Structure 1
Amino acid sequence: MKKRYITIKDIAKAANVSINTVSRALNNKPDINAKTKEKVLKIAEELGYVKNITASSLRNRKSKTIGVIFKDITNPFFVEVLKGIEKATKENDYSLILMDIEKDYELEKKAIQIMAEKRVDGILISPVRKEKKKFNKIMNLNIPYVIIGDHFEEMNADEIYANDLKGGYLATKHLIERGRKKIVFLNVKNHNFVSQSRLQGYKKALKEAKIRINNKIIFDIKEDVNDAYKKILEILENGLSFDSIFCFNDILAYGAIKALREKGIEIPKEIMVVGYDDIIYSSIIDLTTIRIPKFELGYKAFHILFDKMNHKVNKRTKIVLDVELIERKTT
């Protein structure tokens, strides 16, 4: 039976040199004859030698690998964050293992366990739930980690997230400045820091403009395009009066826009729509939205983790990224 992998012993035999000589050549050590090194490397390439990273990791106690756990990789938001992480890992000679937990707490626990079993050096995680006790329990593995895109008020965790209160405020203020007063807010059900911050920003802008907050036009729905579509159809069928919609994210805005267009409602003349995140498709449909620097979010998250993994910082790191309004044709 043919061997699955070529070893340094195989190379040593083919080159008629010692295993130690092969090791020095492959690891670019200075104390080896240049011609011998060239010969060894040529034979290694011809034989199809692949370095055993696992063995190297066991020796160095570092895998040079991080785990990335996202709650919904189908959302283009996380794809753009991942690009930032990937760039940072490549620049620092790290690789990554990505797991999608599909907004499922049990899958989240399993993913963290798998990362521990894979002996990753650290974890970047966008958590499903924020209960301190539950999260502490599953993260109590002595692995450095950074919470990405969310904030846990009472936890001593490293975090990077966006200024969502400002984002909610900017989105709502933008609609008010265009003469809109009956602003539907499609929020999400999970009531985490992000959704609550965007709601606070929404309310802050209304209060500042002395517009009464109407809880009957604030809706908590699933973070799903079809739920947004159905909710707007339901609102229209019930005859609820509104002149604009602010959505928790662009995904919900797409569903809202589909419903409005189906009913022949002109955007933005009759109803204005603002999304959140500025994911890749939003410029195509000319959606006014709040832009989060997604690439930067991922890139900086890795560097926080890198410093933690290499013991460069002892205190908690918390970075809050700024957001901006991107005005397009839905307002």
Structure 2
Amino acid sequence: MKITIKDIARKAQVSPITVSRALNDKQDINPNTKKAILKIANDLGYFPNMLAQSLKSKKSKTLGVILRDISDPFYAEILQGISLTAAREGYQIILSISSRSGVDLDLEYNTLKMMLQKQVDGVLIIPEHEDLRYFAYLQKIHTPFVLLNRVPKGVQCDYVATDQQEGSRLAVSHFIKNGKKNIAYLVRRPLSGVVLTRIAACEKTLLDHGLSKNSMRVVECEDALVAAYEQTKITLKQHPEVNGIYTWDDVMAMGAIKASIELGCRIPDGVGIIGYDDIELAKYYNPALTTIRQNIQLIGRTAAEILIEKIHNGVQATKKAVILKPELVIRGTA
């Protein structure tokens, strides 16, 4: 049987109004009475009716989070950052997975609509596409939202991202400094705006060092360890001159490392490998992975802070665009 305020009042021999004041931490109540009521509530196993509270305040104290796949360490760390901020600010999280592989625009669109139907106070989204219809719909809704690690062109919204151009510049410059001038870049499908931004930055860096853009070949690949492993074997067999492999993320880099070792390549002397993200496993891999560090948890924490601020101040608050600087972390693979 569900315990109510009346049950607590009967046990404490006070009025339901007094119990309500104690449970809501009001000041106009005797401290000893409040302490006794809270103990009785705890002993009886009382929990407040959050639905009733949300109806009264018109706030659900929940944040919606839409991302691709929490089995990927990048998304898991993003979620951890969001969770830390949400818990600190008294919010719960409702998580929806938009797509576990590839891009499904209809699924992402329906996932967003279902999330909004849950009456969340705000939404944090990592979209896997850049369809303008999706973003046009987002801008029509009255629910605050913040994008993570995506900067869609022509869309005015709040977002937190890493400087993708600087990340690729750091990676390619490090290769060139160490004599690696035949580079294969394993990138995820589809070639989204973020992917194209990184590719363009790689090509500009090559030109800035007096090299041809043809010094780098772009190799499309599913962003998964096995796919990267298989594609690296194909690439190195077809193009034995490749001496530097840059990958979309660290998981793909780990597949590239295994493939390179199996083909007899010496790392980093024969083939250098640089990942992207600096997930926790990167420093424990053997050999330890040289990578471009995004402060992944900080992206999540910052985006959640911006969203909660918008919830408090209204959707018309000034848009915030936060671009975080990446960092080259040199370890054993390049």
TM range (shorter): over 0.9
Residue range with higher mean Cα deviation, 288-297 or 22-31 = 22-31
Code of the residue aligned with 1:92 in structure 2: it is E
Confirm whether residue 297 of structure 1 aligns to residue 299 of structure 2.
yes
Separation of aligned partners in 2, 1:161 and 1:188: 18
Confirm whether residue 288 of structure 1 aligns to residue 285 of structure 2.
no
Residue 13 (structure 1) shift: 2.8
Separation of aligned partners in 1, 2:172 and 2:160: 24
Residue 138 (structure 1) shift: 5.6
Confirm whether residue 172 of structure 1 aligns to residue 172 of structure 2.
yes
Separation of aligned partners in 2, 1:185 and 1:212: 15
Separation of aligned partners in 2, 1:6 and 1:299: 36
Corresponding residue for 1:328? 331
Separation of aligned partners in 2, 1:271 and 1:23: 68
Q: In 2, are the aligned partners of 1:185 and 1:245 still within 8 Å (CA)? A: yes
* Superposition RMSD in Å: 1.9
Corresponding residue for 1:159? 159
Closer/same/farther in 2, CA of residues 34 and 308 from structure 1, 3 Å limit: closer
Code of the residue aligned with 1:48 in structure 2: it is G
Corresponding residue for 1:11? 8
Separation of aligned partners in 1, 2:256 and 2:205: 22
Deviation readout 1:116-143 (Å, 9 max, x if unpaired): 2221110111012111113322664311
Corresponding residue for 1:147? 147
Residue range with higher mean Cα deviation, 23-32 or 117-126 = 23-32
Aligned length: 328
Corresponding residue for 1:89? 86
Code of the residue aligned with 2:61 in structure 1: it is K
Q: In 2, are the aligned partners of 1:112 and 1:139 still within 8 Å (CA)? A: no
Residue 324 (structure 1) shift: 0.9
Residue range with higher mean Cα deviation, 106-115 or 287-296 = 106-115
Question: Which structure 2 residues correspond to residues 43-62 of structure 1 after superposition, within 5 A?
Answer: 43-62=40-59
Q: In 2, are the aligned partners of 1:145 and 1:158 still within 8 Å (CA)? A: yes
Residue 83 (structure 1) shift: 2.3
Separation of aligned partners in 1, 2:228 and 2:139: 33
TM-score (norm 1): 0.93
Closer/same/farther in 2, CA of residues 224 and 139 from structure 1, 3 Å limit: farther
Code of the residue aligned with 1:47 in structure 2: it is L
- SS of 1:96's equivalent? strand
Residue 17 (structure 1) shift: 2.9
Which segments of 5 or more consecutive residues in structure 2 lack a partner in the other structure?
Answer: none
Question: Which structure 2 residues correspond to residues 1-331 of structure 1 after superposition, within 5 A?
Answer: 3=1, 5-101=2-98, 102-103=100-101, 104-137=104-137, 140-214=140-214, 217-285=217-285, 286-311=288-313, 314-331=317-334
Separation of aligned partners in 2, 1:254 and 1:220: 16
Separation of aligned partners in 1, 2:31 and 2:256: 67
Deviation readout 1:152-187 (Å, 9 max, x if unpaired): 111111111000011111101100011111111111
Code of the residue aligned with 2:323 in structure 1: it is V
Q: In 1, are the aligned partners of 2:135 and 2:155 still within 8 Å (CA)? A: no
Q: In 1, are the aligned partners of 2:203 and 2:216 still within 8 Å (CA)? A: no
Closer/same/farther in 2, CA of residues 39 and 232 from structure 1, 3 Å limit: closer
Separation of aligned partners in 2, 1:59 and 1:41: 22
Q: In 1, are the aligned partners of 2:182 and 2:215 still within 8 Å (CA)? A: no
Which segments of 5 or more consecutive residues in structure 1 lack a partner in the other structure?
Answer: none
Residue 314 (structure 1) shift: 2.2
Code of the residue aligned with 2:194 in structure 1: it is V
- SS of 1:214's equivalent? helix
Separation of aligned partners in 2, 1:169 and 1:65: 39
TM-score (norm 2): 0.92
